[in-house]
Amino acid sequence: MSDYVIVEGSSIRDAIEKALEKLNCSRDEVNYQVLEHRASGFLGLGEKHVKLKVWKKLHIKEREEQEEVEKNREKLAEAEAISEKLDGYFTIDYRSDGVFLKIVPPKGDGAEVAFDDIKSYIVNKHIKDVDFNKVREAVEENFYEEIKIAEAQEEYKEDAKFEVEITKDKMKAYGILIPPAGGGKWLNEDEALSIIKEKGIVHGVKIDVVNRLIQKKQCNERFLIAEGDYPVHGKDAEIKFYFERNKKNVPVLLEDGRVDFRNLNLIENVTKGKLLASKIPVEKGVPGKNVFGEEIPPKEGRDFNLPVGKNVEVSEDGLNCFAGIDGQVLYIGGKINVYPVFEVAGDVDTSTGNIDFLGSVIVRGSVREGFKVKAEGDVEVYGTVEGAEIIAGGNIVLYRGIQGRDKGLLRAQGNIFAKYIEHSKIEAKGDVVAGDAIMHSIVNAGKRVEVGGKKGLIVGGIVRAGDEISAKTIGSSMATTTIIEVGINPIIKQNYLKTKEKLDRLEKDYIKTKEAVELLKKLESVGKLTHDKKYMLEKLYNTLNHLEKQLELSKKEIDIMREEVDEIDKGRVKALNKIFPGVSVTIGSATMKVRDDLVNVLLFKADEQIKIGSCV
């Protein structure tokens, strides 16, 4: 029946009555629309005619359903299209008179059932003695009736499985639930936990995870079902220092271009009994445990004593050290030392003779030509140094400078500071800092050479540094031969090669010893180890232990030195003003002869060549 009717009558009431009769409902159940309403005769006084469209009102539920259909009309159209394109499928039925196959045809443009799909299913279901020729024939001829493909047999069923994987380090175990096949039985929680136990997993089992994946049947996913406890490794002992170990006091550049050498504060004086360092004891490690319940030993922290040197006292518990005398505290050669301070009120000359002091030396005057000052600590000279030698276990500070007259020598295990350096030989493991100029001298610095002040001049001689050479001007307008070398620290490289050679020898000895131990162990296992050989085996075990410790120490040493060697070739040269022709610059293995003025430049090595950049 249509949802609406078109009716005509002499009035609206007459038309509606006709519509109600056709729609078989009451007046309250319909709505209407006037399609036509006219009257004949003069002034519309004649016969009247009405045409209506009348339809049933929808109930709320019907209206909502209709609105839902309208809203999802596109989805319905897609679903209808799907229903017109359905792939074929097949069923397998196990009966008392045989196993039967029925192929269901596709609809519309759907795909036909493939023989390989049926065969794969049959193989997986372990159906025996199947007539595959009959199956192929049914597929190729599109035979859609039921056919017998094998004699009667029980349907193959496979219960669910619970597979367990254990990581190589035995610290984690994963579980995978494999679903049952052919109506097989599912596992319960207790069965899964029993399988885990059978694998030897007894520690760190995540029972809640196992229960959840069994209950929710989370199949073919890998879940962490057990995890061991990792060992907590011990911590090395630590040393806390209460003084400045590595002073890097650099002279301050004043506004007028001069350099202030008077406020370096290099000497740190301490009184007897002053706390110099404390030791934070080593922390022991906590053993771990793998999923098999086996204990995993931790790596124990390294213990060491306070690095005590001269005139330093240690507390009874070995955890604190104090100054044993009044003097200057210095950290030299990895040791804490307190040196007395020796002060010369005037010059070092015939009135004092040479000075050799087991502490620090302060000279208020000058060091005259031909005299020597040697100190285990720092040396400070307020006057000039004239063709003299100064050797220090710490730093050397010349508040004025050195006029070496090709005889002067400054050698320091730390840094060297001087207002100027002329015609001298300078050696420092750390930095060499000149406040005004380095002229016609041989300078070797383990780290940096820096020349500031108004002139900031390096001219003549040879200046070498491990990391960087920085000045305002290098060379002169007279093309004075000046050799600049950076990125070269022959002492470090030589020590590295020596240690590397030692490590190689230790590794070879270790391998040979281990092979001999393995051979003797084989003889021991078959009862052919003589008394002499037993003694040899014990001796070789001790040798192995000794070599292992040496190897460990050498490897740590080589790792530290390798970082230093890697820094070679990374040096650079800075000239804030100019580098003149006549200067030769070597960075690592690359050399460049300067033939034209280089203004405000930064020289560095890249691609085995010296490159020129800007200082700004």
Which tens digits make up the pLDDT trace of 356-369? 888 889 999 999 99
Cβ-contact 233, 287 below 8 angstroms: no
With a cut of 70, say whether residue 276 has pLDDT above it.
yes
Which residues in 356-390 are b (16+ Cβ under 10 Å) and which e? Answer: ebebbbbbebbbbeebebbbbbbbbbbbbbbbbbb
**Residue for token pair 């029993």:** 194
Cβ-contact 252, 263 below 8 angstroms: yes
How much is the pLDDT for 423?
Answer: 96
Mean pLDDT of the chain: 86
Mean pLDDT value across residues 409-420: 94
Which residues in 123-132 are b (16+ Cβ under 10 Å) and which e? Answer: eebebeebee
Based on its alpha-carbon atoms, the radius of gyration of the chain, rounded to whole angstroms, reads 49
How much is the pLDDT for 298?
Answer: 92
Position with higher pLDDT, 246 vs 166: 166
How much is the pLDDT for 175?
Answer: 93
> pLDDT digit string (tens) for 22-73?
888 888 888 888 888 877 655 555 577 889 888 887 655 566 666 665 666 6
Cα distance between residue 556 and residue 560, in whole Å: 6
Six token digits for residue 20: 């109600």
Q: Which of 238-247, 470-479, 515-524 has the highest mean pLDDT?
A: 470-479
Instruction: Tell me the angle at which helices 115-124 and 132-140 cross, rounded to the nearest 10 degrees.
Output: 150
State percent of the chain over pLDDT 70. 88
Cβ-contact 385, 369 below 8 angstroms: no
Tally the residues of the chain. 616
Mean pLDDT value across residues 182-209: 91
How much is the pLDDT for 255?
Answer: 56
Categorize the per-residue pLDDT at 527 as very low, low, confident or very high, splitting at 50, 70 and 90: confident
Cβ-contact 423, 440 below 8 angstroms: yes
Categorize the per-residue pLDDT at 330 as very low, low, confident or very high, splitting at 50, 70 and 90: confident
Position with higher pLDDT, 114 vs 500: 114
With a cut of 80, say whether residue 351 has pLDDT above it.
yes
Categorize the per-residue pLDDT at 106 as very low, low, confident or very high, splitting at 50, 70 and 90: confident
Q: How many Cα atoms sit within 13 Å of 594 on the Cβ side?
A: 28
pTM over 0.75: no
Position with higher pLDDT, 38 vs 317: 317
Mean pLDDT value across residues 497-512: 85
For residue 412, which amino acid is it? Answer: A
Backbone angles phi, psi at 177, to 5 degrees: -90, 120
How much is the pLDDT for 25?
Answer: 84
Cβ-contact 402, 418 below 8 angstroms: yes
How much is the pLDDT for 553?
Answer: 82
Position with higher pLDDT, 224 vs 84: 224
Comparing 61-65, 158-162, 279-283, which segment has the lowest mean pLDDT?
61-65
How much is the pLDDT for 361?
Answer: 92
Categorize the per-residue pLDDT at 456 as very low, low, confident or very high, splitting at 50, 70 and 90: very high
Residues paired with 188 in a beta bridge: none
Categorize the per-residue pLDDT at 232 as very low, low, confident or very high, splitting at 50, 70 and 90: very high
Calculate the dihedral angle through the C-alpha atoms of 378, 381, 387, 389, rounding to the nearest 10 degrees: -20
For residue 91, which amino acid is it? Answer: T
Position with higher pLDDT, 296 vs 79: 296
Mean pLDDT value across residues 213-222: 90
For residue 413, the tally of other CB atoms under 10 A from its CB is 20
DSSP string, 157-171: -B--EEEEEE-TTSS
Position with higher pLDDT, 372 vs 528: 372
- Provide the pairing of β-strand 416-428 with 396-412: parallel
Cα distance between residue 290 and residue 278, in whole Å: 38
Q: Which of 135, 84, 82, 81 lies closest to 113 in space, CA to CA?
A: 135
C-alpha 436 chain-centroid distance: 45
- CA dist list (Å): 29 to 25, 111, 168, 395: 6, 50, 79, 111
- CA dist list (Å): 531 to 70, 389, 616: 100, 65, 77
Comparing 121-130, 360-369, 493-502, which segment has the lowest mean pLDDT?
493-502
How much is the pLDDT for 476?
Answer: 94
Six token digits for residue 417: 């500071």
DSSP string, 536-582: HHHHHHHHHHHHHHHHHHHHHHHHHHHHHHHTTT--EEEEEEEE-TT
DSSP class of residue 283? B
With a cut of 80, say whether residue 257 has pLDDT above it.
no
Mean pLDDT value across residues 209-224: 91
Residues paired with 200 in a beta bridge: none
- CA dist list (Å): 204 to 110, 222, 291, 293, 553: 52, 17, 6, 9, 37
Cβ-contact 387, 370 below 8 angstroms: yes
Cβ-contact 244, 414 below 8 angstroms: no
